[in-house]
Amino acid sequence: MLKAMKTKAPQEILLFDNENSVYLAAGIDDFKKIVVSLANLSPVRTKLIDITKQPELAEKYCITVFPTLIIDNQAFVGKPATNKIIEIFESFA
C-alpha cells in the first residue's frame, strides 16, 4: 500500500521509449499501473513519450537509452519493476 506524501511530491513523470523497443508494451503497462497507483497521492503530470514521434523531447532530456523514466528531471535508465518505480517515487516524500 502506498503511503501519503509527507513533503513535496514529484510534479512530473515522463517515460521515454520508442516504437521499436522490445520493452515498449511492458513499459506502457507498468507506466499505466504506476499512474493509477499514484493518482490519489499527489497531483502529478505523466506522459509517455515515443521518441520517434517527439525527438525534440529526447534531445531536450539527453535521452539515448530506452526505456528511460524521468521523475522531476532525475533519470532512471532501463526497465525497473513497477514496485521499484513506486519506491523511487516515494523516496521523494
Nine-digit cell string for 81: 519493476
pLDDT-derived band at 57 (thresholds 50, 70, 90) equals very high
pLDDT-derived band at 8 (thresholds 50, 70, 90) equals low
**Predicted pLDDT of residue 10:** 65
90/93 Cα distance (integer angstroms): 5
Domain of residue 23: give its range.
12-90
**Predicted pLDDT of residue 3:** 42
User: Which DSSP category does 7 fall into?
Assistant: S
- Note the pTM of the prediction, 2 decimals: 0.68
In a domain, 3, yes or no: no
Is pLDDT at 54 greater than 90 in this prediction? Answer: yes
Higher pLDDT, 43 or 61: 61
How many structural domains compose the chain?
Answer: 1
Over its C-alpha atoms, the chain yields an Rg (Å, rounded) of 13
Check which CATH number belongs to the domain holding 35 and give it.
3.40.30.10
81/88 Cα distance (integer angstroms): 11
In a domain, 81, yes or no: yes
